[in-house]
A and B are shown apart, each in its own frame.
Chain A
Amino acid sequence: MQNILSILFCLSLFYLAVTPRVKAYVAVLRFQGILLTILLMVPFVEQFSVFAVILPATLFIIKVIIIPRYINKIILELDIKRTIEPTIQQFNFLLLVIFSFIVIFLASSILSLTTNIETIPFASGFAAVTVGIFIIIFRKKLIVHVCGFLVLENGIFLFGTAVASDLPIMIEIGVLLDVFVVVFLMGIALNRISSTFEGFDVTILRRLKD
């Protein structure tokens, strides 16, 4: 089950690599949130405990409901254009992603020989971190950078479930809170930038020197 969810996660990463729309990024974030929630719910089939529901529930509320809505609200308020404006060709970007997938799967299969990890979730988490970084590097829009950051964070989450089966719940919830605050701050910063300058193209921000 964990493997299947990870494969779906990888598919959503490929979709991120080809889609030219900002709305699709938000939809993929929502989809990944749902996948992670299901991933956390899987152990409940065998044993149910009320305390353990807290983490999936918080995850669901923050990643599936609040953050996507907030990003959509920012997009509407600041009237951000629909395309993501990549700095390299989408085709090259996808090639880069495929290449990094191959390297990551190779690396994690070598790692799994000596250490006790689940290869597919580990590799998918790793891949999500890489794709998140690529998105931040190769896109011009700040709002897409936020999405890339969130993908990266989802990757770290998946990574965590692959390495240690149960992290302390308080730590996970703390991380979730951090992420939420970061996105919130990004939103405020975006608002500020847009009220001070025209648009928020990163290439223009480069000219801001003191």
Chain B
Amino acid sequence: MELTSILQGIISLVLILGLSPLFVGLVNKQKAIFTGRIGASLLQPYYELMKLIKKETINATSSSFISAVTPMINFIAVVIAAAMLPISFAHPLISFEGDIILFAYMLGLARFFQVLAAMDIGSSFEGMGAAREATFAVFAEPIFFFTVGSIAFISGFTSIYDIYHSIRLDNLSFVVFIIVCSISVFILAVTECSRMPVDDPNTHLELTMIHEVMILDNSGIDLFLYQYSSYIKLFIYVILEASFFYPFAVQSYTLGIIIFLVVIFILSAALAAVETITSRFKMKNIPHYLLFATAIGILNLLIYTFTR
């Protein structure tokens, strides 16, 4: 790998790590505006993270070493996944043949350890949250493999960077295909980052929580790592979706960057709008909501398998 591409990779990783709380702030601000409030400042997530660092870490007496190592493993796995993402035209830090599998399972590893840690603490609420998280993950994983996997299948590449580079918008059916894929990636993002129709990030009732309930007993630096990695995770999925619009960067780098930023802004508005106008689904309705996104992926795959 050349020096410039390593530099590009480092810069994009730093951008992802630095800007992810800002994105959450943006979504929260827009949500506040939609509901007629002024809302917290855009930088509020940064302040919250700063506050958490200063606090003391307390572990439950019943917890084992798993609770101690999980926040770090969770954070590192998410950061490694973030290092594989191309921001617009930039070459990612980690990129090799077949890295979509590693990408999916790095996020899977993070979730696995989080579920383990929630069970480890021994609180019944957290066990319930872990059960829910694991159940919905079963339905969320096929979405990733059927959508991103189907683009990999069509383009013939297995690295995220190459896949996004092979997208061309001059073919009209490819445009529809990308739009359809971005619907299911949006549903995936909403699910994995426990946003509104699946999980309410602001809920205060343990019985209805999914993701938040698993980190109830964490504090201080542990909670900081969990929160920060959940911000990064949301940003990762947003970038995954925004990268579908990469082809605009072929003409000029500035146009590519501008469109990238515009798409990210539109996505934040879409997230905020969805969270404002919809209420949470009943727990039993979530599986078929997720299966719907999988169905879209399967449809893509079917169309491109049988009609070439």
Which residues of A come within 8 Å of B, CB atoms?
A: 1, 3-4, 7-8, 10-11, 14-15, 17-18, 20, 90-91, 94-95, 97-98, 101-102, 105-106, 108-109, 119-120, 123
Q: B292 at interface (Cβ–Cβ under 8 A)?
A: yes
CB distance from B296 to the nearest CB of A (A): 7
A18 x B289 contact (CB < 8 A) = yes
A4 x B299 contact (CB < 8 A) = no
Given the complex, which residues of A lie within 8 Å of B303, measured CB to CB? 3, 7, 105, 120
A4 x B295 contact (CB < 8 A) = no
Given the complex, which residues of B lie within 8 Å of A109, measured CB to CB? 305-307
What is the chain B residue whose CB lies nearest that of A107?
B306
Given the complex, which residues of B lie within 8 Å of A11, measured CB to CB? 180, 296, 299
A3 x B296 contact (CB < 8 A) = no
B292 x A94 contact (CB < 8 A) = yes
Given the complex, which residues of A lie within 8 Å of B251, measured CB to CB? none
Pick the 10 closest A-B CB pairs, nearest first. A109-B306, A105-B302, A91-B288, A4-B176, A90-B288, A18-B292, A14-B295, A119-B307, A105-B306, A94-B291
9 A-B residue pairs with Cβ-Cβ distance under 8 Å, sorted by A, are: A4-B172, A7-B173, A10-B299, A11-B296, A94-B291, A94-B295, A102-B298, A105-B302, A105-B305
Tell me the bound Cα distance from A74 to B192 in angstroms: 41
Which residues of B come within 8 Å of A, CB atoms?
A: 172-173, 176-177, 180, 285, 287-289, 291-292, 294-296, 298-299, 302-303, 305-307
CB distance from A23 to the nearest CB of B (A): 16
Number of A-B contacts (CB under 8 A): 65
A1 x B172 contact (CB < 8 A) = yes
Q: Which of B173, B296, B305 contacts A14 (CB 8 A)?
A: B296
What is the chain B residue whose CB lies nearest that of A92?
B288
Tell me the bound Cα distance from A93 to B296 in angstroms: 15
What is the chain A residue whose CB lies nearest that of B183?
A11
What is the chain A residue whose CB lies nearest that of B306?
A109
Tell me the bound Cα distance from A4 to B172 in angstroms: 8
CB distance from A97 to the nearest CB of B (A): 7
Tell me the bound Cα distance from A179 to B297 in angstroms: 33
Tell me the bound Cα distance from A116 to B303 in angstroms: 18
Tell me the bound Cα distance from A4 to B171 in angstroms: 11
Given the complex, which residues of B lie within 8 Å of A8, measured CB to CB? 176
